[in-house]
Structure formats: C-alpha cells, structure tokens
Amino acid sequence: MKPMSVRIFLDTNILVYTYSVSEPEKKLKAQALVNDNETVVSTQVLQELCNIITRKFKVPFEQASLAILECSQNNQLHVNTTTTILTACKIASKYKYSFYDSMIIASALESGATILFSEDLQHGQIIEQVLTIKNPF
C-alpha cells in the first residue's frame, strides 16, 4: 500500500523512464516515484505513453497495452473532461504553456495533486498557488 501523504502527478516522460533500458538511473528514480508515493496520471498521459513506446521504441501494441494496464493499476487515473480542456485553455493563456502541456497541468490541478513531476516544464514554478512543478532528475 502506498503512503497517502502528498499526491503527485506524473507527466508522460516520467512514465516513459519507468520502462527505459538506456537510462538506468532515471528508470530507478521514476520507479521509486511510482512505488513510494500516491501518484496520479491522466488519460492523456496514458495515450502519450502508448504513442511514444510504439512509435519511438517500436514496442508492439500488445506490449504497449500491457504497459497501459500496469500504469493504470499502479497510479490513480484522472479522466480528462470538457472542464479539463477549458481549464487548460485558461492555463495556456495565463502561463504561456502549449495546449497539451496545459492539459497536463489542468489534470494535475483537478486531481488534487500538489506536485507535478515533469522533465519538460519549468522546474520550481508554482501554478495557481497550489501546484509545484518539479524535475525529479
């Protein structure tokens, strides 16, 4: 059972590292984040994970499906809605992130996360006085 202290949201790149064979240090760190915390991912994160591992790493869809199932079991799932999209539009306008990065941020906010782990966003930035972006590496 995972601890219930701080709820963290994982960007797609963190989940990709949990399956990495070429970056063992990042793999261990990413796996520890999942194993040692109350973690949340969104439907978008799972979609992006599937796209990355099938296109970039040439993983067959059968194996990608297993990874998606595993991630769904090891993390709480936030389902994006119309409200998520509208919130992402506001975030994109206010913080100047791309729409898809803003969707990640909106999902993190809606899920009640206080930390968003991402390698791609601005480390240390606080969104809406609630969510802190951190690069775990």
Q: Which CATH number is 7-134 given?
A: 3.40.50.1010
The per-residue pLDDT for range 71-126, each reduced to its tens digit, is 999 999 999 999 999 999 999 999 999 999 999 999 999 999 999 999 999 999 99
The per-residue pLDDT for range 35-67, each reduced to its tens digit, is 999 999 999 999 999 999 999 999 999 999 999
Residue 13 has pLDDT above 60, yes or no: yes
Q: Cβ distance 52 to 14 under 8 Å?
A: no
Which of 21, 20, 13 is CA-nearest to residue 45?
A: 13
Confidence class of residue 5 from pLDDT cuts 50, 70 and 90?
low
The reply to whether the predicted model has a pTM over 0.85 is yes
> For residues 68 and 79, what is the distance between their CA atoms, to the nearest angstrom?
14
- Domain boundaries defined on the chain: 7-134
Angle 61-74/43-55 helices, nearest 10 degrees?
A: 150
Confidence class of residue 2 from pLDDT cuts 50, 70 and 90?
low
pLDDT at 1: 54
pLDDT at 6: 84
Q: Is 20 helix (H, G, I), strand (E, B) or coil?
A: coil
pLDDT at 3: 54
The CA angle 34-38-43, to the nearest 5 degrees, is 75
